[in-house]
Amino acid sequence: MAEMVAPSTPGSLLTITTIPGAGNALHTTVTLSGELDRSNEVEARQAIERLIHRGATHLIIDLGRLVFMDSSGVNLLARTHHALTQRQGILVVVAPNGAVSRILEMVRLTQVVPVYPSLRNALAEMSPLAQASARPRLTVSA
């Protein structure tokens, strides 16, 4: 089931897709495309807050189609991580490109939020067996 949030600025697109996980778990995947900056951070934040309010605790944010992210996007990821942690949940970031990956590394968000090269890798690690073990972290190099 997919929910499309209409962009307010050209080149900005937020797609929200719910993907069932293993067992009874529900992983919610948010795919961000285009640019995430001050001009559209509010829409992205509101969409993510709606998901959390509806009970999402295992959130995967796919950044594979994101070409630019400023400090607004970093702040969004940090706040989302905090909100999910407060609910015994987890935030996972998937497939950041070179520029976005470098930003995440510079602010050391990769030390707090697991980063995976693909959605498939993230889903495999978020299975019940993987959740019982320590969460591995992948540092994405440029």
Instruction: Say what the pLDDT of residue 137 is.
Output: 44
Using one digit for the tens of pLDDT, what is the confidence trace for 23-72? 555 688 888 888 899 988 998 999 899 889 988 899 999 999 898 999 99
**61: β partners:** 30, 93
What is the percent of the chain with per-residue pLDDT over 90, rounded to a whole number? 48
Residue 63 and residue 96 in contact, taking contact as beta carbons nearer than 8 Å: yes
Per-residue pLDDT band for 107 (boundaries 50, 70, 90) equals very high
Q: Domain 2-132 has what CATH class? A: alpha beta
Model confidence band, residue 16 (pLDDT cutoffs 50, 70, 90): low
Mean pLDDT of the region 121-134: 65
- At residue 27, the pLDDT reads 83
Q: Is 54 exposed, middle or buried (0-12, 13-18, 19+ CB in 10 A)?
A: exposed
Handedness of CA 19, 98, 134, 74 (dihedral sign): negative
Query: What is the pLDDT, as a whole number, of residue 33?
Result: 86
Output the average pLDDT for the chain.
Answer: 80
Q: What is the pLDDT of residue 99?
A: 93
Is-above-0.85 flag for pTM? no
Is residue 7 predicted with pLDDT exceeding 90? Answer: no
